[in-house]
Chains A and B, each alone.
Chain A
């Protein structure tokens, strides 16, 4: 019963959040200078032509009426139609999802497979006062170098030597640098926090091997922050790794939405942003659930 209430509350607050985001994005798009008609018809179009185009897409109605219309359609699962391609937005996004999903999967897999072990090893081998100099510097660099800088560099170097820039490996590698660094740092801090707990000393006192202690007592206890971070990275990338998709010319959701903003393709931007927000919210709920399962002390609170 309590669980049901909890889920109901989460669903309701998620819906309210999404509604708020839809209002924001709707308003922001309409506030942008230059409308759809100007973008499509060019600078020499007559007012009559613009009015006709606006009427065709209902852009002559009040913003409130437009929003109500859009929301009603959205409620029935109709994400609208791209004004550029005249295709349903849902189909257009679905066609681009595999690209973004593969990119996300590669980067997150690298983060978990490389970042978690790196974090555990550097934490377990850390010496007091040592601070883990080199590793900290490297991961700090990885977290703070912006994707556009690293991405541009990679694109430049690779194309300079006439290598292939197509495929997912390079863009995924660029994204991985950040994902691995962030995961390794978070894991290291979480493990260092667990290492000083009394039950680890108790396990050491029972003569358990380091590997046994890591496997049975450290990983699960340190999982909370790492799971949260991984989910955030996943949601962030699933929403479209804008810059990297754009740089490497990958036809994913990110580059599609960026393009749509430029063309004032309202329905596409609205659906794309809302999708990214929904992914974030769903990931957050999932993580809360997972963290509760991993650490029973937190699960009880819900």
Chain B
């Protein structure tokens, strides 16, 4: 942490309050590389949207924050610290304490993330009993559910939206400092999505909980999050305040991604998909992973890994970020 502060002294205020620090994280699944040196920094109380295509490493990054990686995953390098504690090096009991007290997780499939053999009320009581706070009815009311009806139901009797509210109540029961939400609304109907997100962000704001929201939904992230981190090829290629990153991208990939979002296009205008395919890595990317798809690529982009560059308010992993200021535009 000291070293970091030396590197970026003008960011001292932000660094002091860092709740989550992910540094150079490298994770392999067998021969496939999921994270290729990912960095992420979240301050207390911040809401951060992590966006990127499928396979960009979002879910792996989210799981690594709680050391919840699947068994076949191997951490090759890097560090994860939550409130200064080295998550990847903690002993089992310390790790459980960290998860209980500081972390909360919400997953993509809400019904599958509840125990199918147990009534909702009992699942909540199991968690609340440990916390020794709040009653089941109160917790359910907090997430906008009718306690009388939901508490006695089994998960498969709930709709996806209701189940996700229950999962949110479970995750927020201990008022964690950081909530990691891995595409919590991806499997829900469009009308339900906004309401569920309202619940997440309202509860988090009330409890002072930071949010790391892994999402495909660029416009929703732009509306709700303080900051955005854009992932590509297992790295965070751009991060910064949401308005700056999505309004004036510093990385060519961010610009391409923002241009491909449905909301970015005016009616009647064709969406512009990002040309080419996302990379499948089997080892460290020799240069910039976006180079084959990048319209601005130079020779060194293929052979030299880009270091973070400060452009305006955001950090970008791009050799040409400084040259491209004002060049990248989002079709809106």
Contacts and interface: CB of A to CB of B under 8 A. Distances in A.
Interface of A: 127-128, 197-199, 201-209, 216-217, 220-221, 294-297, 300
Contact of B116 (A127, A208, A297): A297
A199 B116 contact: yes
A206 B100 contact: yes
Interface string B140-164: 0000000000000010100000000
Nearest to A296: B154
A294 B117 contact: yes
Contacts of B115: 199, 203, 216-217, 220-221
Contacts of A127: 71
Contacts, number: 72
Nearest to A294: B117
B68 interface: yes
Contact of A208 (B96, B114, B118, B154): B96
A301 to B, nearest CB: 11
- Counting from the closest, the 4 A-B pairs by CB-CB distance are A207-B100, A207-B99, A205-B105, A198-B112
Q: Name the residue among A128, A199, A208, A217 with the largest chain B CB count within 10 angstroms.
A: A199
Nearest to A295: B117
Interface in B119-145: 126-127
A205 B117 contact: no
Given A203-B115, A217-B115, 8 more contacts: A128-B71, A201-B113, A205-B99, A207-B101, A217-B118, A221-B116, A295-B117, A300-B156
B237 interface: no
A253 B95 CA distance: 56
A199 B68 contact: no
Interface in B62-121: 66, 68, 71-72, 95-101, 103-105, 107, 109, 112-118
B200 interface: no
B112 A197 contact: yes
B109 A198 contact: yes
Contact of A295 (B66, B68, B105, B116): B116
Instruction: Classify the interface of chain A: helix, strand, loop or mixed.
Output: helix
Contacts of B242: none
Contacts of A202: 105, 107, 113-114, 167, 170
A201 B115 CA distance: 11
A220 B117 contact: yes
Contacts of B167: 202
Interface in B19-73: 66, 68, 71-72
Task: Give the one of A127, A201, A295, A300 with max B CB within 10 A.
Answer: A201
Contacts of A295: 116-117
Q: Which of A203, A207, A217, A300 has the most CB of B within 10 A?
A: A207
Most buried by A among B98, B100, B101: B100
A198 B109 CA distance: 8
Nearest to A218: B115
Contacts of B68: 201, 204-205
A201 B154 contact: no
A211 to B, nearest CB: 11
B171 interface: yes
> Interface centre among B71, B114, B167, B174, by most A CB within 10 Å?
B71
A201 B117 CA distance: 16
21 contacts: A128-B72, A197-B112, A198-B112, A199-B114, A201-B113, A202-B167, A205-B68, A205-B99, A206-B99, A206-B105, A206-B170, A207-B95, A207-B100, A207-B101, A216-B126, A220-B118, A221-B117, A295-B116, A296-B116, A297-B156, A300-B156
Contacts of A296: 116-117, 154, 156
Contacts of A300: 156
A83 to B, nearest CB: 52
A224 to B, nearest CB: 10
B113 A207 contact: no
A296 B120 CA distance: 12
Interface in B159-183: 167, 170-171, 174
B71 A199 contact: no
Contacts of B103: 205, 207
B274 to A, nearest CB: 30
Contact of B113 (A199, A220, A221): A199
B169 to A, nearest CB: 12
B66 to A, nearest CB: 5
B197 to A, nearest CB: 19
Contacts of B126: 216
Contacts of A217: 115, 118
B171 to A, nearest CB: 7
A208 B130 CA distance: 10
B118 A205 contact: no
A115 B174 CA distance: 37
A296 B112 CA distance: 14
Contact of B66 (A198, A205, A294): A205
A217 B155 CA distance: 14
Nearest to A127: B71
Give the one of B95, B113, B171 with max A CB within 10 A.
B113
A260 to B, nearest CB: 45
B185 to A, nearest CB: 16
